[in-house]
Amino acid sequence: MLRFAPSPTGDMHIGNLRVAIFNYIVAKQLNEGLIIRIEDTDKARNIEGKDKEILEILALFSIDYKTVFYQSENIKYHQKMALQLMTQKKAFACFCSDDKLEELKEESIKKGIPFRYDNFCETLSDETVLNTNAPFTVRLKKPDHNIKFKDLLKGEFDYAPFDIDSFIILRQDKSPTYNYACSVDDMLMDISMVIRGEDHISNTPKQIHIRESLGYTKEIKYVHLPIILNAQTGKKMSKRDDASSVKWLIEQGFLPSAIANYLVLMGNKTPKEIFTLEEAISWFDIETISRSGAKFDIDKLRFINRKHIETLDEMRLSKILGFADESIGKLAKLYLEEASTIKEIKEKLDNIFSIKTTLEGFENESNKIKEVLQKAPYFEEYEDLKNYIVEQTQLKGKNLFKPLRYILTGVENGPNITDIYPFIKNYIGEITR
């Protein structure tokens, strides 16, 4: 079983989506189920509705899964197992205040050493703990041996007990901390492989230590994916980068199929550049992903998006644009030389169907042509329409073609009218209203 475990604390960013896509592909390759686990135990940071937004985005990308699970539903198990650890003297109650811990951190900073808990409360007797009427956290005792694991992408890791420390597993309100809830749930859900970002590498030994303390010995395979870098700055993509938000990319008119294509392509050797997610399942190899940060280049995504639009069925493209006419889909593809997204193409179509006044410098000509077009009969061929307008207005040259183009397209430049006309001839009345 694999899992994708987002937190409902903000917009899904491309790093999260890449993790979801890789989990989906590998789950398909291994013929195992995929669980979506909403990690919602940090109530203070949860944003209402973000869980549904995450699921809607997964649906947009056709990422199917076995079930959706909310981590908060497992709190009773988190607490029960913490009590088990305390009973077995593997965990202990910690009464140290936030002020005391902050003081210890300040001392560590002055000494230039990493902060580690001083284990003051670990030695308290059961009687002292029982008679202490104060709020407490629960800490897991640091391991008595090194924690080792192999990352399928990055190789071997080895953490000493000092690196892991005696860390908190239950907060004062008895809600589970991230590492504790995550490791217990991975155990309960029988997770076989964890694919996530490399910012979680330092969490992995703690989670292994938690499961070992609970007597769970099944090995979980790990893959920690490199961070995504901004191609322009070379730095990690941040929330300040619009393109880091999947929601923003969709709103800008990037197709889910193109975004998925690019996220698989980044930092990867693929048999071809343009492909679907389903095609990738047959050849994708998680162990050959680049170990260095993958650069996200919005211009490259625009190129890939254009290619995906080109392959869309014209009727489907038309419906995406708000129509239900194959001709509109064909018209949309005419603009792919100057537009790369659905939003940009939609703007071109909006210009065509907008109410126009007159073209500056050609006011009289515009009025004449518009009046003729409003009364004109239906013409199958553009040449016949043009000849009819010439006959009715006696206009020619730029006095004819510049205002005519403006009235039919809303702009002064673009594809040839002869190329556009076959797809708008049934809409002349609406276009010239």
Number of neighbours of residue 291 by Cβ within 10 angstroms: 13
Contact 288, 267 (CB under 8 A): no
Say how far apart CA 191 and CA 65 lie, in whole Å.
Answer: 14
| HEC-encoded secondary structure of 28-79 | HHHCCCEEEEECCCCCCCCCCCHHHHHHHHHHHCCCCCCEEEEHHHHHHHHH
Nearest alpha-carbon partner for 7 in 196, 268, 172, 273? 196
Which residues are documented as binding site for ATP? 239
Say how far apart CA 228 and CA 266 lie, in whole Å.
Answer: 9
DSSP for residue 198: G
DSSP output for 122-154: GG--HHHHHH--S--EEEEPPPSS-EEEEETTT
Contact 329, 343 (CB under 8 A): no
Which residues are documented as binding site? 239
CA diameter of the chain: 106
CA distances to 53, 368, 385, 386, 405 from 395, rounded to whole Å, are 56, 9, 13, 10, 14
Say how far apart CA 101 and CA 118 lie, in whole Å.
Answer: 9
Say how far apart CA 107 and CA 105 lie, in whole Å.
Answer: 5
| Number of DSSP helices (H) and strands (E) in the chain, helices first | 20, 12
* Residue 2, SS3 per DSSP: strand
Say how far apart CA 26 and CA 286 lie, in whole Å.
Answer: 8
Contact 347, 372 (CB under 8 A): no
